[in-house]
Amino acid sequence: MLTPKQIFVVGLNDFNRARLEQLPGAKDCEFHGVIPPADVYDTEVFDIADMLSRAGDELDAFDGPIDAIIGYMDFPVSTMLPILCRRFGTRTTSLESLLKCEHKFWSRLVQRQVIPDAIPAFTAIDPFDDQALDVIRSAGLYFPFFLKPIKSSGSRLGFRIDSPEDFTHAIERLREDIGLIATPFNTVLEHALLPPEIAAVEGHFCMAEEIIGGWQCTVEGYVFEGEVVSYGIVDSLRYPQVLSFFHYRYPSQLPAEVQAQMKDLTERVMTHIGYDNAAFNIEYFWDEVQNRVWLLEINTRISQSHCDIFEKVDGISNQQVSLDLGLGRRPAMPYRQGEFPIAALFFYRVFFVDARVTQVPSEEELAALKAEFPGTLITLQVAPGQQLSSMPEQDAYSFALACIWMGGQSAEELLSNYESLSSRLNFAFEDVVG
């Protein structure tokens, strides 16, 4: 009988444990959580030094081999993994190569060395510098531009700046809240060997970038023993006139030649970075008018939002990639062996300034909807009594109340089914007083 592989997952919750245990490659694996999921899901306060200490104690106390340490989340999990893997001798990419993806200024500098035509004009600024707008102008950036933290999570604290008033508002928000990301990110930076020009641009800095846009999508991939593999492209569609995501759709409907160009850019930049033995996803824009591809940002993980849609279309969740890489195996992702030819994750949103939730759909209502639309998954993101502004990981314009995964025979059928389902989600709210 084979000895089970012992897999440790940072921030493992019950939903993802069930997904991992169902993977074909998990038959010889036992999964253990490291750091409670609430510490990385349900808060915006990340004491990474404490989490690394606790994770180290948990792993030291384990009486047996530690075969892999993996994760499926963005910050802070993604940045903790190289530190933990280095300490316990398991496989992943180096911390420095990961930071060349996640430290936005360092990442743009590295990208400019190999794919200069695919990146926008950019500069780093200190939001606590009263002359920050002059620094941006001296870099050749003018309204409109985009402003975001040097390390962000999701779309948090990202702003489109169209005027001096927008800039003033964004700077006020950044000065108030950027420490929630900057302080723990600086803890990670202390573990890395940084060039002086990067060490000077620490976690409290921001990035100003030229506005880029077009058809947005995400290339999911991995590097195994130096070989860059892009195994799927997912379209990211937004609500009209706003930055908030409406749904992710797989497979991509982009022209084949555009998809091929994105895969070529991906191979060039990830090879140059030296990223290895780990998963990634890269967000791109295709400007159809100029027929130009822009690289938006690199994420050092699979996208857990895409797990179900890969399973629906290809037959296996892309969590198989993280598991295989953690164990030193070449990932085994099937192709178009799922139940549906197309699938999507929809974000059911409200565009409020704030409110308190008074009602959410009942279990019976959700069960009826899932029975009517086979293959559908619905996860609520709020509970009665919750104030919307208390939700973590939200963009600056809306609140996502539910995530809805659906499969279909066509993009048109997906949208029609979602519209029918979403019209029957019974949420209710009251104004926040005071």
Mean pLDDT of the chain: 95
pLDDT tens figures, 45-72: 899 999 999 999 999 999 999 999 999 9
Q: Give whole-number Cα distances, 163 to 130, 244, 415, 424, in Å.
A: 16, 20, 36, 40
List beta partners, residue 406: 344
Maximum distance among all alpha carbons in the chain? 68
Q: Which pLDDT score, from 0 to 100, does residue 185 have? A: 96
pLDDT at 314 over 70: yes
Nearest to 69 by CA among 92, 52, 49: 92
Query: Where residue 434 falls among pLDDT bands split at 50, 70, 90?
Result: low
The arithmetic mean of pLDDT across residues 385-399, rounded, is 85
| Topology of the domain comprising 121-210 | Dna Ligase; domain 1 (3.30.1490)
Query: Where residue 260 falls among pLDDT bands split at 50, 70, 90?
Result: very high
- Could you tell me how far CA 24 lies from the centroid of its own chain? 24
Q: Is CATH 1.50.10 what the domain over 339-434 is classified as, yes or no?
A: no
Please provide residue 262's backbone torsions phi and psi, each rounded to the nearest 5 degrees. Answer: -65, -40
Query: Where residue 123 falls among pLDDT bands split at 50, 70, 90?
Result: very high
Please provide residue 412's backbone torsions phi and psi, each rounded to the nearest 5 degrees. Answer: -65, -40
Could you tell me if 8 and 32 are in contact, meaning their C-beta atoms sit under 8 angstroms apart? yes
Give the pair of three-digit tokens for residue 188.
């990670």
List beta partners, residue 404: 346, 378
Model-level pTM? 0.94
pLDDT at 243 over 90: no
Q: Which pLDDT score, from 0 to 100, does residue 252 have? A: 98
Q: Where are the domains of the chain?
A: 5-92, 121-210, 339-434
Say if strands 5-10 and 29-34 run parallel, antiparallel, or are unpaired.
parallel
DSSP helix/strand/coil, 263: helix
pLDDT tens figures, 175-215: 999 999 999 999 999 999 999 999 999 999 999 999 999 99
